[in-house]
Amino acid sequence: MADTTASSAGGNCLEKLKNYVKTPKGFILSAEILLSFIIIICYGASHTGGYSSVAICEMIFAMIFFGIFMMEMDKQFLLVNWLWSDLFRAGIGAVLYLIVSLINVIGGAGDGARIAGGVFGLIAGLVFAYDTYTIYLEVKSTRQHAAASTDDRV
């Protein structure tokens, strides 16, 4: 007979997902994933679907970091500096989204799906920029706490 009182691994993962989405970082990452998915749909419906590669890459990277932070693998796998990796991911995503979205909004005359993708891309660029700013503040606060004098002379 199976023990029905023990919690299953799937239930534990679902609880971690629910709890992580309620945190500020989890909310930002889930918003990045959702906006990237909407942008993929908009660019897929437009006449020129080649701009969807930025949205696909950024959605995959956001999903990877969401999974790593949700399962708290960043505390177990210390070989990678996850804070700096996330800072570079969000910063590059913000710059790429703003560039591609401006190109699509300016040059998308007559293609409503392309303009909609550009507008959602501008919003996503702002969300990625906000994520970059929050990560920068976290890096700045950890560097101030970690800096200690090793000079023995007083």
Quick one: three-class SS letters along the chain? CCCCCCCCHHHHHHHHHHHHHCCHHHHHHHHHHHHHHHHHHHHHHCCCHHHHHHHHHHHHHHHHHHHHHHCCCCCCCCCCCHHHHHHHHHHHHHHHHHHHHHHHHHHCCCCHHHHHHHHHHHHHHHHHHHHHHHHHHHHHHHHHHHCCCCCCCC
Residue 44 lies in a domain: yes
> Which pLDDT score, from 0 to 100, does residue 54 have?
93
Please give the torsion angle defined by the CA atoms of residues 31, 99, 117 and 91, in that order, rounded to the nearest 10 degrees. Answer: -10
Residue 45 lies in a domain: yes
Q: What is the residue type of 3?
A: D
Phi, psi dihedral angles at 106 (to 5 degrees): -70, -40
Q: Are 16 and 71 in contact (CB under 8 A)?
A: yes
Whole-structure pTM value: 0.84
Residue 18 lies in a domain: no
Residue 101 lies in a domain: yes
Domain encompassing residue 36: 23-143
Q: Are 91 and 132 in contact (CB under 8 A)?
A: yes
> Which pLDDT score, from 0 to 100, does residue 104 have?
92
DSSP code of residue 32: H
pLDDT (tens, 9 = 90+) of the chain, 154 residues, equals 455 555 566 678 889 889 999 999 999 999 999 999 999 999 999 988 778 999 999 999 999 999 999 999 989 988 999 999 999 999 999 999 999 999 999 988 888 999 999 999 999 999 999 999 999 999 999 887 655 556 666 5
Residue 11 lies in a domain: no
Residue 62 lies in a domain: yes
Count: domains in the chain? 1
Residue 75 lies in a domain: yes
Residue 3 lies in a domain: no
